[in-house]
A = this chain, B = another copy of it.
Amino acid sequence: MPKTGMEPIRRKALIGATIAEIGALGSLDVTMGKIAKRAGVSSALAHHYFGGKDDLLLAAMRHLLMQLGLSVAAELKQAHSPEQRLAAIINASFADSQFSKATVSAWLSFYVQAQSSVRAARLLRVYTKRLHSNLVYDLKKLTGPGRADETAKAVGAMIDGFYIRHALQGHALQRDEMIGIINRYWRLSIVA
């Protein structure tokens, strides 16, 4: 067994364990010890690779953000019209990888943390802005710029709102239903 090159492996494992732990606890009140144990290493190692708890949490957040970005990119690749692109963006937000209990919990927790952590807030704003400009970009082709902005805001709020309800109501809402509601909304909105 090679003793070198463990760093990326450990980092990945620790980030995964962080998200899993947040999902299991349903909050950011996770301990380095528990995360490390879940990743199969000592808590000292987690500090060694990440510097501290905040940094590990942020790294996990960045990971989530990146995954979402990949998800969007993948869906967009198969979209060939503004309408298809809009559906793709919304689909990506509810992709499997984004819709597991752990991931939803983590996102929700990060929302809260963003209120007290500047760095977390910055990261989240990246997500919000990216989503918004993605939506506006295609909506503008289908309607005026004013309506596009408003519709994009509403769609963003709906996505986040459904996330909350999903986490809250024991995942009782069907994914397709949420997607359907949102899609029907913007179709309605652009012709209004």
Q: CB within 8 Å of B: which residues of A?
A: 25-29, 105, 108-109, 111-116, 121, 124-125, 128, 150, 153-154, 156-162, 164-165, 167-169, 173, 177-178, 181-182, 184-185, 188-189, 192
Q: Name the one of B108, B116, B125, B161 contacting A112, with C-beta atoms under 8 angstroms.
A: B108
Looking at A115, A125, A156, which has the most chain B CB atoms within 10 Å of its CB? Answer: A115
Given contacts A108-B111, A112-B108, contact A154 B168 (CB under 8 A): no
Question: Is the beta-carbon distance between B112 and A26 smaller than 8 angstroms?
Answer: yes
Set of chain B residues within 8 Å of A115, measured between Cβ atoms: 26-27, 105, 108, 167-168
Q: How far is the CB of A126 from chain B (nearest CB, A)?
A: 12
